[in-house]
Amino acid sequence: MLKHRHKIMLVGDGAVGSSFAFSLLQTTQEVDELVIVDLKKEKAIGESLDLQDITPLTGPVDIHAGDYVDAKDADVVVITAGVPRKQGETRLDLVNKNARILSTIVTPIVENGFSGIFVVSSNPVDILTTLTQRLSGFPKHRVIGTGTSLDTARLNVLLSQKLNVPVNEIDAWVLGEHGDTSFAAFDEATVNGQPLKAVAGLNDKDYADLEETVRKRGGNIIAGKGATFYGISKYLAYIVKAIIENHNVVLPVSAPLTGQYGINNLYLGIPAIINWTGTETTVNFTLSPNEQKKLQLSAAKMKEILASVKI
């Protein structure tokens, strides 16, 4: 019996896009076509040829440069295109520049008959995911952003180092905006199944320092090497794999809020179940009153920015 195979379109062949494509091909064998779209067509062609060279080891995939017309029968469109964040610049500083770029991508993709799932990682990701849904008119569950998946990874790494335990024993989440109003849900975090606050021996300053270090980690990476791309590209590949292989994966992605936590008409980093339907549902995550307040503040900031966006 032939397996159902899948077509992925990548829009944006920068550092994140190219790293995503490389990671995806090593993550799943369920992709039989990968289309790369970039304003610099020659770069997309070169990228395709370079990636073809790994297929003898990863499996046969038709990898080629393309255009928005190729979206018609794609299962997933991954958007990494946009102006990258510079040192000293916040993700929200990018909003109007990248919102305008987004409108030139989403509209022609939909007009060419795309009916799959959008996955967005361009920054500010929660804003651009919200705008992708509005521009496309798609059901909200068929638009996903990478949300706070990367922030959560960073928190787990830092806690692992702080407590000197394996990172896979840490279960802690960063929620809210992928940016300055994000927060770590320490009250619900666990270490090897035990409540973090009961076993870690950390004080309030330790928790505040960890949270601040998570927020600054992206900027520190940019200062050191000019961009961040390995972590986010791996999570992008993980999300796409969950979609095309129909796994029920729980990640804090930019998920649509339609009344959950008292928030409507907005995407924020919240744990959600991802599978072939997109975001099947958000996870009923019980927050402490303080964390609920932080999530509301993050939502208010996002809505304020959305109201000012001009595309």
pLDDT digits (tens, 9 = 90+) for 175-188: 999 988 999 999 99
CA distances for 285 relative to 45, 110, 181, 182, angstroms: 44, 33, 19, 16
Of 2-16, 85-99, 269-283, where does mean pLDDT reach its minimum?
85-99
Q: Give the mean pLDDT of the chain.
A: 93
Domain limits, the chain: 6-145, 149-308
Q: Tell me if 6-145 shares its fold with 149-308.
A: no
DSSP 176: B
What's the pTM value of the predicted model, to 2 decimals?
A: 0.94
Whether residue 1 is predicted with pLDDT greater than 80 in this model: the reply is no
Q: What is the CATH number of domain 6-145?
A: 3.40.50.720
Q: Which CATH class is domain 149-308?
A: alpha beta
**Residue 6 known to be catalytic:** no
Dihedral angle over CA of 22, 24, 29, 33, nearest 10: -80
pLDDT digits (tens, 9 = 90+) for 84-142: 767 766 666 778 888 889 999 999 999 999 999 999 999 899 999 999 999 999 999 99
Contacts of 184 (CB under 8 A, 6+ apart): 155, 172, 173, 174, 175, 207, 210, 211, 214
| Helix (H) / strand (E) containing 268 | strand 264-275
Q: How far apart are CA 30 and CA 15, in angstroms?
A: 23
Q: How far apart are CA 233 and CA 151, in angstroms?
A: 13
Catalytic residue (one of 4, 141, 178, 247): 178
Structure tokens at 119: 């996955």
| Helix (H) / strand (E) containing 264 | strand 264-275
Contact 142, 118 (CB under 8 A): yes
Residue 8 binned pLDDT confidence (cut-offs 50, 70, 90): very high
